[in-house]
Amino acid sequence: MGILASVWSLRDYETRIEARYRAVLRLSRPLLRATRWRGSTLARRQRVVAIVGSQGKTTATRCVRAALGLPAMALAEESANHRGRMAMVLLRQSPFRRYATVESGIASPGQMRKQVRAIRPVITVVTSIGTEHLRSFGSLERLRDEKADALRVLPPGGRAVVNGDDENVRWMATQTSARVVTYGFDEGNDVRASNAALDWPRGTTFTVSAGGREYAVRTRLIGRTMVYAALAGLAVAHSEGVDLDAAIARLSRMRPTRRRNQPIRLASGALALADDINGSIETVEAALALLRELPARRRFIVLGQLEMPPGPQRAAYRRIGAIAGKVADRVLIVGQLEQYWPSLRDAGFAKADLSVVATATDAIDILRDELGPGDVVLLKGRAEQRLIRVGLGLAGRTVRCRRETCRLPNDFCDACPLLERGR
């Protein structure tokens, strides 16, 4: 009876999670209407900050909240950024605070306008424009035009806080009459970072210039891409007249977002860098560039599937394989993806240093005996592969979940009862 009860409870858990997710989807229209009502009544004086873009939205949202002095919010870490789930994020925030934040993501044409009309942002942050969802739009021009609706709806007294280093984002800034504030590393940005340096695994340091002053910033976030997220938060704070010294102090305490350049200490003395929430080709290339920078005795990569790569898939996999072959000492490919091998081989990578496995748990079994102090292992693949399980298993958690993919709408395996009990 105990085994049957355990199996039933796990099935009940999955059923409840999936049912809750489907219910939110079915209620998307009334939830968006409730959001619109909130903005025209209780929260009519609130300055809503919408965060849009192809990558970096979730961490940028958390940085904006920290910089503005808003309390941490669990939903802000869950990529709850579409239709009903997005509306729930806003509805759960007090309408009586000066600021609220909401991440807005889309998957197909026509969605952005409906969402931003409901949330009525006064400030819109644009992080980047990349190839994720490109197949639904056909071109980067169409994709950026769709996301630009988040700037077109801004009121005259609003703010467009945009990544000035991204040419597509700079074009989007021409689509609004609101005041534009740029951030980035390039000269000419209103809020500019320089002297960025890794302090692995503690974080990243950089200097930020804003309003004619320079500030030293130390953040627990890892890498150049995460500096952009911190800059987004500081640019919003600066444009709103928030004291930057206080905003920087709050940012310095913010831990990395789970599964986004998240360092994990392993039982062997090695370190993992978990960045498996997004498998777009831009994020994979950025993660490999970061791995190259990290001080390490040996560099391991647990590499999964790419997320809807643009153009021919074979070319995309070979492109990533060629980079990985020059960065890594050891590669484990999860998902029987032989497409990586030709370019790994051409880059001079030895086949003896390559393993191809079916699941994350297979990778745990191999790496447990190979990793040692000073080693670093990058976990990078599509979100559904849940390669974070490799980091959790090597850190000492019991991992019995052997699913090749998981579509449960909860991003965090560490809190899932299926992790240790399996199915």
pLDDT digits (tens, 9 = 90+) for 216-252: 999 999 999 999 999 999 999 999 999 999 999 999 9
Phi then psi dihedrals of residue 398, to 5 deg: -75, 125
Bigger pLDDT: 183 vs 407: 183
Q: Is the pLDDT of residue 7 over 70?
A: no
pLDDT score, position 407:
82
What are the tens digits of pLDDT across the range 74-87?
877 777 788 888 99
pLDDT in tens, 164-210: 999 999 999 999 999 999 999 999 999 999 999 999 999 999 999 99
Q: Binning pLDDT at 50, 70 and 90, where does residue 409 land? A: confident
Average pLDDT, the chain: 92
Q: What does the pLDDT read at residue 3?
A: 42
Whether the per-residue pLDDT at 8 is higher than 50: the answer is: no
| CA 168-171-175 angle, 5° bins | 135
Mapped onto helix, strand or coil, the DSSP state of residue 359 is coil
Is-cis flag, bond preceding 155, omega within 30?
no
All domains of the chain, ordered by start, with CATH? Answer: 20-252 (3.40.1190.10), 262-421 (3.90.190.20)
Using DSSP, state whether 258 is helix, strand or coil: coil
Give pLDDT tens digits for 314-356: 899 999 999 999 999 999 999 866 789 899 999 889 989 999 9
HSE-up of residue 20 (Cα within 13 Å, Cβ side): 11
Q: How far apart are CA 405 and CA 26, in angstroms?
A: 24
pTM: 0.94
Per-residue b or e along 47-86, where b marks 16 or more CB atoms closer than 10 Å to that residue's CB: bbbbbbbbbbbbbbbbbbbbbbebeebebbbbbbbbbbbb
pLDDT of residue 10: 60
Which residue has better confidence, 312 or 122? 122
Residues with Cβ within 8 Å of 421's Cβ and at least 6 positions away in sequence, in order, are 6, 10, 400, 401
Confidence of residue 421 (pLDDT cuts 50, 70, 90): confident
Q: Using the Cα atoms of residue 354, residue 356, residue 362 and residue 364 in order, give the sign of their dihedral.
A: positive
Q: Name the pLDDT band for 4 (thresholds 50, 70, 90).
A: very low
Q: Which residue has the tokens 């599937």?
A: 305
Of 272, 285, 278, the C-alpha closest to 260 is 278
Query: What pLDDT sits at residue 423?
Result: 66
- Position 22 scores a pLDDT of 85
Q: Which of 110, 128, 118, 125 is nearest to 65 (CA)?
A: 125
pLDDT score of 307: 86
Is residue 135 predicted with pLDDT exceeding 80?
Answer: no
Please, are residues 16 and 416 in contact by the beta-carbon 8 Å criterion? no
